Chain A
Amino acid sequence: MKPEINIALMNAAQEILTRFSPLIEDEYEQSRLNSWGALILISAMKLNQSYSSLVKENNSIINWLTNTKQIYSKELLKEIDLIQVEEGLEQSVLDEQNQLLRAILVKAHKEVDSSDDIEVKRDCLKLLREMHSHRKVSDLIGLLQQADS
């Protein structure tokens, strides 16, 4: 089996940070190269999860919209009913679908916010947090600091 892309990126980042960067005397160029090393490292850490995170996020939005259907306006319901669930999509198609779902979710959240149902409001924020946790890279901030030092 060939080495995976993320392993290749991790090694590239390590070489940039420990081998090439120390050779550069110009402070600005060295800092800029270190930043690239750190960003490649983050990319390597998140590469394997990017597809599955998108699938999980799309599914979470669809499930939530379906489960809370009873509270939406007729116009929004029409949009929700048009959502199609397909499997095995390419990442670019999943991304497009994600943007459509996010647009519907924004409208749904507005309607939720104008209702008096605290529990649904709370659930909606929970969904947003779950979506954010699938995507975020800020948990790797410590890694960036290590790379920088």
Chain B
Amino acid sequence: MESNKELSSQFISYYSKFTNKKLSLLSFERVFGGASRETFRILVKDETGSEEKLILRRTQESSLIETSQSTEYLAYSAYQGTSVPVPAMIDINEDEGTLGAPFMLMQQLDGAAASPFTPDAYSPHEEELGEQFWSILGEIAKKDINDDFIDQFDNATEDPCWKMELDKWVEVIKEDSISIEPILDAGIRKLYENPPKDPKKKSLVHGDYRNGNFLFKENKITGILDWEMAHIGDPLEDLGWALSPIWSWQDRDKPAYLLDRQASLSIWEGSSGLTIDKNDLKWWELFACVKGMAIWISAGNEFKTGKNVDPINLFSPWIPGDIHLEIILDILEEDLNET
């Protein structure tokens, strides 16, 4: 593995050539977190003294979630200049020779991201940020997608949306599991036995829309990040994921530590123009736990096999893994009590 110094020198050489400018590097820092790509915050200056803030996302040799870089680029590109705030894309490069691995370069947006496990991260702006958070998710769901656009994603099949996603994540669990989890098994059975309806309108699904994956500055959301799991599917998938109690574990009545559930759903319905089917949403909320478990299990496997001993790969199966199992149990018990 090369040092940051080596990589930063490769970067400035590449970017000077790319922009046809004589640039100097003011800072080059790796950002902690984010398991699928290495992320670097960069500041460069040109001959006139003008500074530019950039974000470099480089594919990891061993990443938590195997995702296509072009999918992420495509998703970011789809929302350029819309009410969904995303960074301007500068370049995508699949060539390993330039910076040692495929990478994407984008402009850095203002604002900061908070940990999804910090209850008061958005205080005192929960209401304003909550309004924007659920409304932007509705906008993502509302976007018109045509066949040409869908064809650019590599997941178009004849299967219903729910089956395509569930099969995919169950496969990850089968491949990467290092122990038997009866709770998870029961959750998966429940999902296959009671599938939801296929959506009337398919959408571009962000795939990891939650608190922690957006930038904010005081009371304004300045960017929606981490689109690497984007795909075409059921818009309720993103809603189920964002509502999951794991993202507001210490205040479960306030999804994403922003607004109460009912207010959140109303904003989403208003913004997306879609009506929520409660049973279908319930299915997607249980699915969110199974998908989460697949990700945490995959991380645990990376750690245990020594492929990637980043502490995030130990933290993931320990804490989020535990929490998602508990949520599956809550859902199964609630279901049983309703029968």
Question: A residues bordering B, Cβ < 8 Å?
Answer: 26-28, 31-32, 35-36, 38-39, 42, 99, 102-103, 105-106, 109-110, 113, 118, 121-122, 125, 128-129, 131-132, 135-138, 140-142, 144-145, 148
Contact = CB atoms under 8 A, between A and B. Distances in A.
A36 B311 CA distance: 6
Interface in B282-339: 310-312, 314-315, 318-319, 322-323, 325-326, 329, 332-333, 336, 339
Given A128-B186, A138-B319, A145-B117, A39 B29 contact: no
Nearest to B185: A106
14 contacts: A31-B32, A32-B310, A35-B312, A106-B185, A109-B182, A109-B186, A121-B336, A125-B333, A128-B186, A131-B182, A138-B249, A138-B319, A141-B249, A141-B323
A137 B319 contact: yes
B1 interface: no
Given A128-B182, A138-B322, A148-B115, 14 more contacts: A27-B32, A28-B30, A32-B311, A35-B312, A42-B318, A103-B180, A106-B180, A110-B189, A122-B336, A125-B329, A132-B322, A136-B326, A141-B249, A144-B117
B183 interface: yes
A113 B250 contact: no
Q: DSSP majority for the A interface? A: helix
Interface residues of B, number: 34
B38 to A, nearest CB: 10
Interface of B: 29-33, 115, 117-118, 179-183, 185-186, 189, 249-250, 310-312, 314-315, 318-319, 322-323, 325-326, 329, 332-333, 336, 339
